Amino acid sequence: MGRLDDDVVIVTGASRGLGKSVTERLSEEGAHVVLTARDEEKLQTVADDLPTESLVAPADVRDREAVRGVVDATVDAFGRVDTLVNNAGVSSLSINDERRPIGEITEEEWDLILDVNLKGVFLFTQAVLPHMYDRESGNVVNVSSGLGRYATEGAAAYVSSKWGLEGFTRVVALEGDDHGVNANSLDPGGLLNTDI
């Protein structure tokens, strides 16, 4: 038996890369994992190899109704949400295979990065908090980056999203304190190949 026996954990961006690895480890530790990302087929492939009961719930983190659907499906299937891992993320590197100076960032690229990396975290967190507050228990883990505390050229949208994420995490922690809910950001460190 693992240390997370029967905990219910939602992981965004669970179809590949870090999200897939986190999902596998949580399941190995005994958690029931709800896998969400846009690609249902990839999610199902990950879920098929998990040792614990899981739920595949495809959604775009930028879509409020889809996000709420994931949380509702989780509560219907498992009765609660113990932990939310906001892992889904995108950067200029993942979109263009290169960093771009501010003058070359399109509005569409800026919006995509901020919407996935920050708005998606807000939508998922907002959807799970009432359930956690009712139980006076829960954890929100936001996958951040060293670029949530430092800046680098050619990554304005990503840096802005991660600085925002760090601030948002602190607010969630402050507001959750009286409700038994913890919030932390996690910096995996280094450059990760998230496309595997």
- Catalytic annotation, residues: 158
DSSP string, 58-93: ---TT-HHHHHHHHHHHHHHHS---EEEE-----HH
Question: Pairing relation of β-strands 181-186 and 138-143?
Answer: parallel
Rounded distance between C-alpha atoms, residue 38 and residue 21, angstroms: 17
Question: Pairing relation of β-strands 83-86 and 138-143?
Answer: parallel
Closest to 34 measured CA to CA, from 8, 15, 60: 8
Neighbours of 173 (CB within 10 A): 15
Helix (H, G, I), strand (E, B) or coil at 9: strand
Rounded distance between C-alpha atoms, residue 19 and residue 11, angstroms: 7
